[in-house]
Amino acid sequence: MDLSTLSAAELVKRLSSGELTAESCTESFLERIKDRDSSLNSFVSTAESAISAAQAIDERRSTGQAVGALAGLPVAVKDGICTAGIATTAGSRMLEKFVPAFDATMVKQLLSADAVVIGKTNMDEFAMGSSTENSFFGVTKNPWSDQHVPGGSSGGSAACVAADLAPVSIGSDTGGSIRQPAAFCGITGLKPTYGRVSRFGLIAFASSLDQIGPMARSAEDCGLVMNVISGHDSNDSTSAKNDVPDFTQTLNDSLKGLRIGICKEHFGEGLDSEIESAVNESVKVLESLGAETVEISLPHTPYAVATYYVIAPCEASSNLARFDGVRYTHRAATAKDLTEMYCQSRAEGFGEEVKKRIMLGTYALSSGYYDAYYLKASKVRRMIKHDYDSAFEKVDLILGPTTPTTAFKIGEHTQNALAMYLADIYTVSANLAGVPAISIPCGLTSAGMPVGLQLQARSFDEASLLRVAHQFQLQTDWHTRRPNA
């Protein structure tokens, strides 16, 4: 029986009925990873503990004990999220041998629901990148074309789901790092509201922007995972106390009367014409389901990437100060005194992009520049937030393309960082404002590369995103298309 193409919902159903054991399910995915991942490089490591964890779940189930909502479901976790006893590298030489002593809260929640962590996925170093080319552990390939990047920074999490090496995965999104790779790899990826999912145990990049979320083949599967990982955590002071709905309960509610705003700034210069047509076709599908569409404006969109590239590096320069050669693995061998040890360890342990962003943030926060950069950017951020507040007085959701282009070629933007940064032009605003957003597959270009549709909602209204995405996926088959099929 080929399990690899089954949805997470279907796997959970078969596991629950006893038709499938957790052990055979886990083995089957680990086997696929072994067979296929050497060319893809979507995993940094696989979890040796997965089989025994699965056996323990089977044992509990067969003796009539209670099991969790995801019992036996294999899950891949981005390697920037701490897993007790399993190496967690964040794609960096700095953490090459780092083995966390604790599980991130959301990993703990997955394990309490009896999901099985099968491995850790590749990523741009410390989540800084949009292509998964900036990993110490090598480039991850796009399953749709080995000449193309899978997007980033959660490129491994996107690629492994697209290649059917895991039914669901976990990513993190600071400026688009779940949605952009989901779009590039033809899968569904949700960045929840800031505060919805605990970040305790996520290796911090930019703390006012980082958010953890699910990546899967469908909105329904994302909902299953969201039910498990959402909610307040006293270990994360930014975690929200809002009630958590059952995200799978409202998937089939009608879209009649739902107001969807089409953001005009997302259809300007730089948008690939094939993406534009795919998005326009998607609008028709949603209209046929009873949604009303109106044009809206988020006027500060053109400044979002610049705002992000002040705020994110500033926060990163502070967060990454902890990697100093004292507590975490990599230390330069030749340093004679403490300061030299810091400077050499950081020079050796960090890759080029990370060093650049730390220096950028250090510069922008240094005496004499704070007002011009960080304070100004934080005020523009307020305007971006205002844009959303005004838009959501008129509409329930905002629709547009996830990215201006489909996956670019490996190496294409290596020498032009700004071109790479602009891959996030439609996604960064949601992080700056804190609102939830989802990317779902909505087409394939003539070259056969996937196109992503982005929907954004009011804070804490992930349920609407998942409902609209699910209804769209009942009408279309883009999310079922597979590479090489």
Partner 1 sequence: MSEPIDRKTVESVARLARIDLPEDQIDDTASKLGDVLTYIGQLEQVELPDDVEPFFGAIESVNAIRPDQLTDSVDREQILSNAPDADGEFYQVPPVL
Catalytic residues: 78, 153, 177
CB 94 within 8 A of CB 328: yes
- Residue from 375, 390, 409, 448 that binds partner 1 (CB under 8 A)? 375
- Packing angle, helices 304-319 and 352-365, rounded to 10: 100
The residue (of 350 and 408) whose beta carbon lies closer to partner 1 is 350
E-state strands within 358-457: 397-401, 437-444, 450-457
List, as one string, the DSSP characters of 59-118.
HHHHTT----TTTT-EEEEETTB-BTTB---TT-GGGTT---SS--HHHHHHHHTT-EEE
Residue 381 near partner 1 by CB under 8 A: yes
Residue 328 near partner 1 by CB under 8 A: yes
- Residue from 385, 444, 445, 482 that binds partner 1 (CB under 8 A)? 385
Of 397, 9, 470, 463, the closest CA to residue 244 belongs to 463
Return the residue matching tokens 């590239």.
309
Residue 343 near partner 1 by CB under 8 A: yes
The residue (of 142 and 307) whose beta carbon lies closer to partner 1 is 307
* CA atoms of 452 and 187, how far apart (whole Å): 8
Q: Nearest distance from residue 99's CB to partner 1, in Å?
A: 7
- Residue from 344, 412, 474, 481 that binds partner 1 (CB under 8 A)? 344
Q: Is the dihedral of CA 334, 335, 340, 344 positive or negative?
A: positive
Q: Nearest distance from residue 415's CB to partner 1, in Å?
A: 10
In angstroms, how far is CA 293 from the centroid of its own chain?
27
CB 484 within 8 A of CB 309: no
Structure tokens at 465: 């995103």
Residue 306 near partner 1 by CB under 8 A: yes
Q: Nearest distance from residue 185's CB to partner 1, in Å?
A: 27
The residue (of 165 and 341) whose beta carbon lies closer to partner 1 is 341
# residues near partner 1 by CB under 8 A: 73
Residue 90 near partner 1 by CB under 8 A: no
Residues 443-462 that bind partner 1 (CB under 8 A): 459
Of 309, 293, 301, the closest CA to residue 269 belongs to 301
Q: Nearest distance from residue 363's CB to partner 1, in Å?
A: 5
Q: Nearest distance from residue 417's CB to partner 1, in Å?
A: 7
DSSP 297: -
Q: Which amino acid is at 450?
A: P
Residues 186-245 that bind partner 1 (CB under 8 A): 193-195, 207-208, 234, 237-238, 240
Q: Nearest distance from residue 228's CB to partner 1, in Å?
A: 22
Residue 126 near partner 1 by CB under 8 A: no
The residue (of 2 and 371) whose beta carbon lies closer to partner 1 is 371
Partners of 76 in beta bridges: 119, 169
Residue 317 near partner 1 by CB under 8 A: yes
